[in-house]
A and B are shown apart, each in its own frame.
Chain A
Amino acid sequence: MRLFAKWRRRGVLGALAGALALSAMTLGATAALAEKIKVAAIYTLPVEQQWISRIHKALNAAAERGDIEYVWSENVANNDYERVMREYAEGGQQLIVGEVFGLERAARKVAADYPDTAFLMGSSFGPSGKNFSVFDNWIHEPSYLTGMIAGATTKSNVIGMVGGYAIPEVNRLMNAFMDGARSVNPDVKFLVNFIDSWYDPPKAKEAAFAMMDAGADVMYAERFGVADAAVERGVKAIGNVIDTSADYPNTILASAIWHMEPTIDRAIAAVKEGRWEAADYGQYSFMKYGGGSVVIDENLVPADVVKMVRDKEQEILDGLFRVNINDARPVSDM
């Protein structure tokens, strides 16, 4: 269905502008370093989606600073993704950002065909070739910290978790969250549910209601819909990737936030300085690079819990504490 659901006004214009600019450059541009580099992003979902919104934000910020010219396509189906990658590469884009979870091998082949283009892709696997770099939302550290808050604030000792798909990047954050909760509350029990969709809020809501019926009083809101259910029943929720506390007053205890700026800014600098190579940018989502952070609603979380979490945050930043990385599918323990 998404094949036709694309909306790529800016994409087409951008490709045109890119081609024009490229020919101008070959005509005798001298100050190559001062030029804005041309960046295109290809997203499989709309830019409102939590994960994608973080990349979009970082690229928009770079464009506003004047570092890049930014064009993007959203809602590109996986089976259409290669074509759009090629279009942008042919159109003279210097850096192409996106996500290849549904076409890992194919995307690496495309990148190999365009050795002069830099690719920075969200991926479950490693970098490849000379120009295919990867990133992901490695925010297991803030997830651990929000888990501590959930573990310390639950009264029923039951925490509900609704996830999209049980894939490594989802599992990793859930496991870190569970570790954090167990570290402060050994009695805590988890209910885990996957809805098999990134975007079905009514279904996520039903899953959340079922967990609340089973006693959950803190919800891990990985999907849209979970916090809505929490508001309706008056229970608390923990946010993930973005800060939604303004949309759900008195509900979001804390959120593990992903910042894509450290990753994007390093990638842009590498392209600008002509030293792009295939690398794993995943670490730039770690807290010590400012790629992850935790926001806490101090009106909802007791001060001693906040202090405990801030202390642990400092330990992570100082390199004294390392959050375990576990990609296995989390399971209910009730």
Chain B
Amino acid sequence: MMEFLDIFLNESFWTASLRIATPLIFGVLGALLCERAGVLNLGIEGIFVVGAMAGWMAVWMGASLWGGVLVAALAGAAFGLLHALLTVPLGLSQHVSGLGITLLATSAASFIYRTALPDVKSPPRITPFQPLDIPVLSDIPFLGPVLFQQTPLTWLALLMVALVWWVLARTPLGVAIRAVGDNPDAVAAQGLSVYALRIGAVMAGSALMALGGAFLTMSAFDAFFFGMVNGRGWISIALVIFASWQPGKALLGALLFGMFEALQVRLQTQAGALVPSQIFLMAPYVLSILALVFVARRADYPRALLKPWFKGQR
């Protein structure tokens, strides 16, 4: 029991939690932005893969790290545009289009990777983002390492939480995005373009998702592997409901999952002799589902989510 409590007193546990949460923060924010505008984006898993591949590939081909981040975001936005065109003006099923985007994006990433690197022995490596290690601040006991020994992308993720919150809650654009997800007719009556708002939100959200993937290859690791996204996109989709479409709660949900995962790794190592490892591997998902059950009962879905809107139809 003492060992169990010790885990939480160790600052490296919290550092790991935030690090594990980072791609999920990007993913949840991205999904949240799309859904707030009324479009479910199940392309998220594939867009993660594209972001992971594109960002890393750009750096490997000579771009700077931040250049790679930009390339990843643009690649994500491009797949977002495709999803938006299919689901917004054409009004196709958002589920089907999203899953199609995931399949297309995943295989496109593999195709480009293999075409560019037909005969590599092991995946080529880049020099990834290093922890910031800000002098003085990093030396603050406990908080220092947890917050200030993270890589710049973790900071970008935290910044994005604030930015998305600010845009949605405090700007006219945010009001319009929320309205287009709740009552597109009202938006149209105001003379605003429902299509433009939804397409823009899906593109921006997809760019954020791609950054979650880019974190994996440019910060958490230094090479691209097929399958390394490993369900992180799907977890983000579940966390959006947990977060009730609120950026602040999205951060909380991602951190909670990061904590579960960091805890899982440590518990499995400590008590692996007593309980099969599979139980621990399952734990973060079970705990997330439990959290979801309690939160989602009060979930307040964007009212126009999944509902296509056509110009001139009421």
List residues of chain A with CB under 8 Å of any chain B CB. 1-7, 45-46, 48, 53, 75, 160, 166, 191-203, 205-207, 209-211, 213-214, 224-225, 228, 242, 244, 247, 329, 331-334
List residues 155-201 of chain B with CB under 8 A from any CB of chain A.
Answer: none
Q: Are B269 and A211 in contact (CB under 8 A)?
A: yes
Q: Are B221 and A228 in contact (CB under 8 A)?
A: yes
Task: Please list 9 pairs of residues, one from A and one from B, whose beta carbons are closer than 8 Å in the complex, sorted by A's number.
Answer: A45-B227, A192-B272, A196-B277, A200-B227, A201-B228, A207-B265, A210-B269, A228-B221, A334-B269
List residues 27-78 of chain B with CB under 8 A from any CB of chain A.
Answer: 45
Q: Enumerate the 7 nearest inter-chain pairs by beta-carbon distance, A residue then B residue, closest first.
A: A202-B220, A331-B273, A332-B272, A4-B107, A210-B265, A201-B221, A194-B277
CB A170 to nearest CB in B, in angstroms, measures 12
Q: Are B122 and A244 in contact (CB under 8 A)?
A: yes
Q: Are A210 and B114 in contact (CB under 8 A)?
A: no
Q: Are B272 and A1 in contact (CB under 8 A)?
A: no
* Inter-chain contacts of B270 with A (CB < 8 A): 214, 332, 334
* Inter-chain contacts of B226 with A (CB < 8 A): 2, 5, 45-46, 75, 199
List residues 225-243 of chain B with CB under 8 A from any CB of chain A.
Answer: 225-228, 230
CB B264 to nearest CB in A, in angstroms, measures 9
Interchain CB contact (< 8 A) of A206 among B20, B222, B227, B230:
B20
Interchain CB contact (< 8 A) of B110 among A7, A200, A333:
A7
* Inter-chain contacts of B20 with A (CB < 8 A): 202, 206
Q: Are B221 and A225 in contact (CB under 8 A)?
A: yes
List residues of chain B with CB under 8 Å of any chain A CB. 10, 12-13, 16, 19-20, 45, 102-104, 106-107, 110-111, 114, 120-123, 125, 216, 220-223, 225-228, 230, 261-262, 265-266, 268-273, 276-278, 281
Q: Are A210 and B16 in contact (CB under 8 A)?
A: yes
Interface residues of chain A: helix, strand, loop or mixed (majority): loop
Instruction: Output the nearest chain B residue to A224 by Cβ-Cβ distance.
Output: B225
Q: Are B222 and A192 in contact (CB under 8 A)?
A: no
* Inter-chain contacts of B16 with A (CB < 8 A): 206, 209-210
Q: Are A210 and B281 in contact (CB under 8 A)?
A: no
Report which residue of A166, A201, A210, A333 has the largest number of chain B beta carbons within 10 angstroms of its beta carbon: A210
Interchain CB contact (< 8 A) of A214 among B19, B123, B269, B281:
B269
Known: A45-B226, A202-B228. 4 other contacts (CB 8 A): A2-B227, A48-B121, A194-B281, A197-B227
- Bound state CA distance, A1 and B121, in angstroms? 24
Report which residue of B102, B262, B281 has the largest number of chain A beta carbons within 10 angstroms of its beta carbon: B281
- Bound state CA distance, A213 and B269, in angstroms? 11
Q: Are A206 and B110 in contact (CB under 8 A)?
A: no
Q: Are B19 and A206 in contact (CB under 8 A)?
A: yes
Contact A213:B125 (CB < 8 A) given known A5-B106, A193-B269, A332-B272: no
CB B125 to nearest CB in A, in angstroms, measures 7
- Bound state CA distance, A331 and B272, in angstroms? 6
